[in-house]
Structures are given as structure tokens and as C-alpha cells.
Structure 1
Amino acid sequence: MATVHHWTGLEARALRLALRLSVRAFADHLGVGVRTVSKWEKLRASTEPRPDTQAILDTALARADAAAHLRFETFLSEAGGSRTGRWATPAAPPAWEYESWADDLDRVVVALSQQDFTFAECLLSRWQSRFKSAELDEKGLYLFARSTALFGDLKRYRGTPVGLLSAQHSYAGARAVFMHLGIPRRVAQLDLSHAVVMEMSGKLETAARAYESLAVDDRLSARDRASARLWVGTALSKDGEHDYATRVMTAATRDFEDLAEPEDWSVAHQKLALARRDAGDLTAALRFLDIACTTGTARSPMQRVQLTTAQAHIFRTDPATRDEGLRLLDEAAQIAAQSDLGHQLRSIEAIRRTCEGAFKPLHHRPGSR
């Protein structure tokens, strides 16, 4: 049901229309003068009922039935300041606005997980353009900061160089608000997201150090700490420290198993496969890859691209499976291009360039494919 934090003539008129009462009947219903209601009708958002009348309006709205509440919300959304062409927002948005905002942010999370970037951006822009941070109370600021952080995720997932810079900017803005609100868990999550951007930007050692710190940070959940530990390994492996990276990622794998997180456990094996491939241990790489392929779901485009790219990267190492690896690389590139996954597409193109040079198979043990 709708509630109003602060009544103006605009909301009062919307309530009268929702109750389907004339000006006189509405005045009688509230126990106020007809002249008072007429003033609300004329001045709308530029006039405010007295505090005692605000309470009367609260009671009248609370006693209205569900159909009247729906009409009230509809009239408000259509009313919006005739002089500005927009609904004049009170100092704090109504509670039902906050609920709608929170619901839309949940939808954004789902859209991002499915790489539906256009829909996610539409939902975020709807709220970011509607309110200024200075207009919001603490609950509104929390939603504003969450929206800003999700904008950062959107830019990061798309992975363009400009997008990564924009993601950093969004994360910094959201972090400042969460610091102001005193929500340390959200601050630490943004520190983790910022470290991911550093890794994607090629700052591998800096990212690894940040991950190491966050892997033991009590502000984060156990799952986030395990993810940070896994990402220590991925950054170190990219930087050539394959053996230590394997040890760290193996520890993260055990953490995900203890936490009963099968999807994370599967992804960890995918990362382990790549680390062992880069270390020259193709037998172990194939073993870890087989675990990742048989236990993971790879439902979203990003998951399919990552798993297919890992398969291609490992298969192309062995002359016997090199053609299959190149085919899988093309398949991953096609999915990445269709899903606007810029960072993954650039990574695939980098692998392709290495394929154009002389093919030098890595040493592998007997029995590998």
C-alpha cells in the first residue's frame, strides 16, 4: 500500500480523485474547510497542509481500500508538476517508491547475471535520473549507492577500456556513500570490485595484493573472501607465478566445497585448469577442465564464453586437439560479440594472435590428449 512521507496539495488532490469524492465531499470526509481543499487543488505541490492535517490525510489514505490505493498511485504518477512536466518530488520519496526502486535493483542483478545489459541500463537510468542524492534520506541514499555500484558492474561486464574507467568512477562514488552511511560490508565489496577492474586493466600485481588483503577481511562474507582468494590465484597466474597460484586457488576450491557453493567450486576448477596449462602441466589442466565441464551449468552467455574459452585455450595446446581448440575459440568469440562482452572478446583475440605465430606445444605427460 502507498504511504506519503510529506503531503502537499498535489498528493491531497490525488487522494481526493482516488476516493472519487467532490471537493466538498472530500472536505467533509477529512473534517476540514472547503476553502482549504480548494487551496490544495489550486496550488498543488507549492502548498503544504498543516501538521495536524497531514496526520488526517495519513489516516484517510491508510483507511482507503486497495483499489483506491492503486488509483492514488496512478494519479500521482500522471499528475507531475504541470509547469515542469515532471512530478515534483517531495523531500523524501514515498515509501512505495523505495519499494519499487529496490524491486528494480533486484531485477537489475538478474539482468546483469544474464548479460541483458540494455534492460539493466534502462532500469538503472530510470532511478538515477529521477532523484538527486541531496534529495534523499538514508534509505534513499542506500538505494542510490546500490544503483551506482550496479552501474559500475554494468560497465565492468561490458569490459571496454572506457567502460573500465567508468566502472572505477561508479565504484568510487558508491563507496563514498556507503562510507557515509556506515555500511562496512558494502565498502569492502566495492573494494573487491575495484580490484577486479585493476586485474582487467592489466595491473596484476596490484590486484593480487588487493585480493590478498580482502581474502582475510572480516567485513566480507565467507563466499566473498573465498572469491578473493581464488582471484589472487588468477592474477598471479596471469603474472607467471603458476605454482603458487595453483596452491592459492586449491585453497579457494576447498573453501567453496565447505560452503556448499557448487557453481563457484566448478569455476575454481576452470581457473585451476588454465593455471596448470600455463605451467606446462597439460595432464592436470585436462583433469581440472573435465571437472569444470561436468559440474558447471554455464547458463549465462558470460559463463559459456569463459568455459568455452578455457576449453579452447587448453585444447589448442596439444597438436592432436588444436583444430578443435580453434573451433571452440571461434564459438566463444561469436557468443562474446553477440552478448557485448568486450573484455572477453579482446582476450579471445589475443589468444588468436598467439595462434598465428609458430605453434610450440607445451611439454605434457604421457596419457594426455
Structure 2
Amino acid sequence: MATVHHWTGLEARALRLALRMSVRTFAEHLGVAVRTVSKWEKSLAATAPRPDTQAILDTALLRADAAAQLRFEVNLAEAGGHDARAGEAPMAAAVGGPRAWEYESWTDDLDRAAVALSRQDFVFADDLLRRWLSRFRPVELDDKGLYLLARSTTLLGDLRRDRGTVLGPLSARRSYADARSVFAQLHIPRRVAQLDLCQAVVAEMSDQLDSAARQYASLMVDERLSRRDRARARLWVGTVLSKNGDPGRAVRVMGSAVREFEDLAEPEDWSVAQQKLALAHRGTGDLTSALHCIDVARTSGVTDSPLQRVRLDTAHGHILLSDPATLDDGLRALDSAGSTAATYGLSHQLRSIEKIKAVQGADAGRPADAVADRERRT
């Protein structure tokens, strides 16, 4: 919080502007004469309020909200005055590092980038992130700046993951590793564990299923994570089991995650878990339960992002392909999912869709019992 050890007219004027008050309103707010405030504004640093008035100004600053306090620091910096924090050099003279208003803008841009990512507006999100990632060197940043740097790098990893770039020097894996290093430096174990969870997702997407399974199993009991994140790890353990040809165990593990999300009142995670549970039921050959779960997922989701629509349509199509009576409906669902994935640059999902269709094509004309056996194994 901003503090002032000795008020002058300069700090008083900065506070008035931060509170967005006129001279008269500010005087009434403090309980002093208008001419007193006018004198402060005329003389600035050359005058100092009386000791009792200093205390009144202290109280006014203390009672200001966080946004006003930040504006106060910015006003002082831009006026070339002393930083409101005791014993520090003027903020405008900080070597290379961000000023208070830049921290505020950086935080706002991270929030905007997260919203853009939720809508798969990758170009806009990438622009918002890179304007800050290229602006400062890590050595120029204090702990607050390093925290924002790590958050930015994490979001860049999410962007690359959603676009399907999971391996290589410009990949989600690299971004997550960089962000994890900074959070470890800042001694924030929860964030470090969250990045470990992100790395496990990348391993699964890269078909490194054994590695992903080990990481998920460890993280679902990791006390550094919140209960919600541990439930996510449990759900993804089930995903790996399903991909590894053990859908029966996957159903049991995912069912536990579904109940956990229900207890936590997390509707979006609960909906995603229903979608994954549907595919696990499909793997066991229980198409009735699979269709029930995918219908629940399609009608209970809180968000309607392009990525989630692609995932739901892909899962629904995959299930419908398992029954010859709904084969054409399944192909139409996959075509719709593929079109959306291509429009938004969701390359990982597009590859998954093409793989499902290729398997369907390979199964065409095969004996029914052979196809059924393949279905049980995939």
C-alpha cells in the first residue's frame, strides 16, 4: 500500500487527482479551507501542510481504494516527484523496469488475453502477450514483475497447447518449463504444481502416455494443488487409461472425478468430465451410457467456446460411428467438428478427427467381429 512519510503540496495534489476530486471537493473531503488546498497546488513541493493536516492526508490516502492508491503513485511518478514508498528513488527514474501504471496495464492485458484464449482468438491473445514478454528483461523486474512474466508465459503455453504446438523450442512444453522456473524462483509451490499438471497434459497430447499417467497419478494426491486441480488430474488419469486400452478402469476413475466436481460445484469441469466419461463408456461397448453422458455434456456446459464445441462434436461423432445405424450422423458430426477446428486453427483436434475418420475408413468392409474387437481396444 502507498505511504507518505512527509506530505508536501506535490503529494497533496497527486492525491486529489487520484481521488478525481475538484479543489473544492477535496478541501471538503479533508475538512480544510479551499484556499489551503489552492496554496498547496500553487507551491507544490515548496510548501508542507501542518502536522495535524499531515495526519488528515494520511487517513485520506489510507481510506482510498486500491485503484486510487495506484493512481496516486502514478501521478507522483509522472510529476517527477518522490515515490510514495519511503526511502525509494522516484519511480520515473527506475532503471529499465516497469512503472506502476505499466503493472496495471500488464495485469489488464493478461485478463484480456485469457478471455481471448477462451474464445480461441489466438492472434489477439498472442499480440497482447508478446507486447509484454518482449518489453522487459527478467533482470529488470522485481517480484511483482516476475510474477506477471510467469503468468504471461503460462498463457503463451496455453495458447500453443490449444493450437497443437506441443513440442520444440517454440512449443507449449517450452513455455510451461520457462514459467515453472520463474514460479519456483518466487517460491510459489501451487503455481509450480499447476505447471507440472500442464506438462503432463502436453505429454499426453504428445502420445507419451506412460509418462503422462505417472505424472497425473502423482499430482492427483499432491497437496500443493487445490482440490479442483487434483480432481482434474484424476480425470486425466482416466483419460490415459482409456487411451491405453483399459476403459473399464477409466470409467471408475472418471466417475470419481465427476462426483468430485459435483461436490465442488464446478459445472464446467463436471461437463468436461461427462464428455470424457462418454468416450470411456464407448470403449467398454456401453453405447447407451456413452450417449447419455455425451448428451449431458452437450446440454450442461457453461461456456460455448469453439474448442469445446469441437471436443463435444468429436466425441459425439466418435460414439455415433460405433453403431452402423448412426454411422452417417457420426460422420456429419465429425465433419462439423473438423470445419470448426480448421477455422480456428485447432490443429491437434483436427488431427484427432482425421485419425478417427481414417480408422473408420480402414474398418469399412472388415468383418463385424473384427471391427468390434478393434472398438473394444480403442
Q: Shared topology, TM-score over 0.5?
A: yes
After superposition, the Cα gap between the structure-2 partners of 1:312 and 1:155, relative to the gap in structure 1 and judged at 3 Å, is: same
* Matched letter for residue 117 of structure 2: L
3-state DSSP class of the match of 2:363? coil
Aligned match for 1:244, one of 249, 260, 273: 249
3-state DSSP class of the match of 1:357? helix
Aligned match for 2:228, one of 217, 223, 226: 223
- Determine whether 1:205 maps to 2:206: no
> What residue in structure 1 maps to residue 330 of structure 2?
325
Q: Distance in 1 between matches of 2:263 and 2:307?
A: 25
- Determine whether 1:177 maps to 2:182: yes
Matches within 5 A, 1:146-157: 146-157=151-162
Aligned match for 1:272, one of 274, 277, 285: 277
* Matched letter for residue 239 of structure 2: T
- Determine whether 1:314 maps to 2:331: no
3-state DSSP class of the match of 1:153? helix
Residue 347 of structure 1: how far off its partner (Å): 0.4
Aligned match for 1:190, one of 189, 195, 206: 195
> What residue in structure 2 maps to residue 232 of structure 1?
237
Identity %: 59
* 124-133 or 160-169, larger mean C-alpha shift: 160-169
Tell whether the 8 Å contact from 1:121 to 1:151 is kept in structure 2 after alignment: yes
- Determine whether 1:30 maps to 2:45: yes
After superposition, the Cα gap between the structure-2 partners of 1:161 and 1:226, relative to the gap in structure 1 and judged at 3 Å, is: closer
Output one character per residue of 1:235-261: Cα deviation in whole Å (capped at 9) or x when no partner.
111111111111110000000010011
Output one character per residue of 1:64-90: Cα deviation in whole Å (capped at 9) or x when no partner.
xx9xx79x88x97xxxxxxxxxx9963
Q: Distance in 1 between matches of 2:225 and 2:167?
A: 28
Tell whether the 8 Å contact from 1:155 to 1:164 is kept in structure 2 after alignment: no
Tell whether the 8 Å contact from 1:157 to 1:341 is kept in structure 2 after alignment: yes
Tell whether the 8 Å contact from 2:238 to 2:253 is kept in structure 1 after alignment: yes
> What residue in structure 1 maps to residue 344 of structure 2?
339
Output one character per residue of 1:282-303: Cα deviation in whole Å (capped at 9) or x when no partner.
2221222222223224500000
After superposition, the Cα gap between the structure-2 partners of 1:88 and 1:353, relative to the gap in structure 1 and judged at 3 Å, is: farther
* Matched letter for residue 31 of structure 1: A
Q: Distance in 2 between matches of 1:338 and 1:91?
A: 40
- Determine whether 1:134 maps to 2:139: yes
Tell whether the 8 Å contact from 2:165 to 2:171 is kept in structure 1 after alignment: no
> What residue in structure 1 maps to residue 83 of structure 2?
none
> What residue in structure 2 maps to residue 83 of structure 1?
none
After superposition, the Cα gap between the structure-2 partners of 1:298 and 1:335, relative to the gap in structure 1 and judged at 3 Å, is: farther
* 155-164 or 259-268, larger mean C-alpha shift: 155-164
3-state DSSP class of the match of 1:159? coil
Number of residue-to-residue matches in the alignment: 308
Q: Distance in 1 between matches of 2:159 and 2:169?
A: 10
Q: Distance in 1 between matches of 2:311 and 2:168?
A: 20
The two structures have a TM-score, normalised by structure 1, of 0.75
Residue 327 of structure 1: how far off its partner (Å): 0.6
Tell whether the 8 Å contact from 1:156 to 1:164 is kept in structure 2 after alignment: no
* 106-115 or 158-167, larger mean C-alpha shift: 158-167
Q: Which runs of 5+ in 1 are unaligned?
A: 4-14, 19-25, 33-58, 77-86, 365-369
Tell whether the 8 Å contact from 1:98 to 1:140 is kept in structure 2 after alignment: yes
Q: Distance in 1 between matches of 2:361 and 2:279?
A: 20
Q: Which runs of 5+ in 2 are unaligned?
A: 4-13, 18-40, 48-57, 62-67, 79-91, 374-378
* Matched letter for residue 174 of structure 1: A
Tell whether the 8 Å contact from 1:298 to 1:307 is kept in structure 2 after alignment: no
3-state DSSP class of the match of 2:207? coil
Tell whether the 8 Å contact from 1:312 to 1:324 is kept in structure 2 after alignment: yes
Tell whether the 8 Å contact from 1:158 to 1:341 is kept in structure 2 after alignment: yes
The two structures have a TM-score, normalised by structure 2, of 0.73
Cα RMSD after superposing both structures = 3.4
Output one character per residue of 1:110-150: Cα deviation in whole Å (capped at 9) or x when no partner.
11111111111011011111111000011111111111111
> What residue in structure 1 maps to residue 129 of structure 2?
124
After superposition, the Cα gap between the structure-2 partners of 1:322 and 1:179, relative to the gap in structure 1 and judged at 3 Å, is: same
Residue 363 of structure 1: how far off its partner (Å): 5.5
> What residue in structure 2 maps to residue 37 of structure 1?
none
